[in-house]
């Protein structure tokens, strides 16, 4: 079933994935049901696939604006002059650690390759790059292969959490260093529903890595 779900169904499915219905809406919804025989008769099983998008509410926009203000103050960034460009690069939903995306090493390598291409295409006049590191860079959030709210992921089975974090941090530091060779770099971390704890920890870690580097400013959003 791919028909538009009811408001109740939409809220239910979003909450199951740790998403606030006030801030998220369903863009795509697919429900498959089938019967399975048991000793007591039959039971109905279901498979649900959704694609959600964040609502551009005043709360969300104001929240990002406040984080950007903190980011600008953290390393006393000067306002852009006429003709100068702030180039924003979004890194989100990479789901490093999902077996559906190949090996962890391959995922990290591809992330770096694609982002370097984007950095190299920064328009003339770019003086600062803003990396908006959004939700679900990491596919799961702990040693048990669960999301932040405890959802067990079949495509996380057998993946090593420490390795996922290691390659994720290595990819981000590589991209920050690569961009900082030519530009001032600001990084804003926004945790997702899969990786909230990990993203907060990685953001705080990178604050210390770059605390003495005047080219780089890190903000970890809670």
The pLDDT of residue 192 is 80
Give pLDDT tens digits for 113-129. 999 999 999 999 999 99
12 against 182, higher pLDDT: 182
CB 189 within 8 A of CB 199: yes
Q: Name the residue among 178, 195, 186, 173 with its Cα closest to residue 64.
A: 186
Give pLDDT tens digits for 17-66. 778 887 778 777 777 877 888 777 787 877 777 777 766 555 555 666 56
Residue 67 has pLDDT above 70, yes or no: no
What are the residue ranges spanned by the domains of the chain? 7-52, 57-220
78 against 69, higher pLDDT: 78
8's CB contacts (< 8 A; 6+ apart) are: none
Give pLDDT tens digits for 145-195. 888 888 888 888 788 899 999 999 999 999 999 999 999 999 998 888 888
When pLDDT is averaged across residues 195-203 and rounded to a whole number, the result is 89
Phi, psi of 167 (to 5 degrees): -75, -30
The pLDDT of residue 62 is 61
The pLDDT of residue 66 is 64
CB 218 within 8 A of CB 176: no
When pLDDT is averaged across residues 2-21 and rounded to a whole number, the result is 78
Q: Which residues pair with 216 in a beta bridge?
A: 185
Give pLDDT tens digits for 98-109. 888 888 899 999
The pLDDT of residue 167 is 93
The pLDDT of residue 126 is 93
Residue 72 has pLDDT above 70, yes or no: no
Lowest mean pLDDT, pick from 70-79, 85-94, 138-147: 70-79
Lowest mean pLDDT, pick from 42-46, 130-134, 160-164, 211-215: 42-46
When pLDDT is averaged across residues 119-146 and rounded to a whole number, the result is 90
When pLDDT is averaged across residues 8-17 and rounded to a whole number, the result is 81
Token pair in block for residue 157: 């089975």
CB 118 within 8 A of CB 179: no
The pLDDT of residue 183 is 95
């Amino acid at each position: 079933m791919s028909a538009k779900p009811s408001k109740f169904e939409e809220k239910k499915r979003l909450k199951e994935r740790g998403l606030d219905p006030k801030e998220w809406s369903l863009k795509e919804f697919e429900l498959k049901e089938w019967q399975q025989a048991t000793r007591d008769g039959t039971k109905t099983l279901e498979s649900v696939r959704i694609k959600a998008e964040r609502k551009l509410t005043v709360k969300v926009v104001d929240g990002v604006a406040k984080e950007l203000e903190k980011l600008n103050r953290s390393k006393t960034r000067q306002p852009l002059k006429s003709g100068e460009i702030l180039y924003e690069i979004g890194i989100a939903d990479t789901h490093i650690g999902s077996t559906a995306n190949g090996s962890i090493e391959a995922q990290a390598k591809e992330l770096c390759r694609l982002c370097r291409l984007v950095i190299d295409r920064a328009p003339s006049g770019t003086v600062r790059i803003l990396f908006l590191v959004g939700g679900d860079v990491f596919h799961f959030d702990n040693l048990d292969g669960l999301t932040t709210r405890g959802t067990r992921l079949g495509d996380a089975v057998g993946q090593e959490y420490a390795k996922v974090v290691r390659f994720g941090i290595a990819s981000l530091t590589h991209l920050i260093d690569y961009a900082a060779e030519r530009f001032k770099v600001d990084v804003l971390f926004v945790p997702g529903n899969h990786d909230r704890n990990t993203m907060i920890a990685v953001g705080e870690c990178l604050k210390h890595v770059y605390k003495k580097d005047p080219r780089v400013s890190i903000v970890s959003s809670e």
